[in-house]
Amino acid sequence: MTHEEATAEAARRQAADPEATWLAVKHEDEWVIARLGLMPTPNPIGTATKPPPVAPRDDPHSAIERAAWFAAGG
Q: Whole-angstrom Cα distance, residue 34 to residue 15?
A: 14
Q: What's residue 68's pLDDT?
A: 86
* Domain range for 24: 1-40
Residue type, 24: A
Count how many domains the chain has. 1
pLDDT at position 31, please? 94
Q: Which of 23, 21, 20, 17 is nearest to 3 (CA)?
A: 23
pLDDT in tens, 10-27: 999 999 988 888 999 999
Give CA angle at 54 (48, 58), nearest 5°. 175
| CA 6 to chain centroid | 24
Q: Using one digit for the tens of pLDDT, what is the confidence trace for 23-72?
A: 999 999 999 999 988 776 677 666 667 777 776 777 788 888 878 877 87
Is residue 1 assigned to a domain? yes
Tell me if 21 is assigned to some domain. Answer: yes
Q: How confident is the model at residue 74 (pLDDT cuts 50, 70, 90)?
A: low
Query: What is the pLDDT at residue 46?
Result: 64
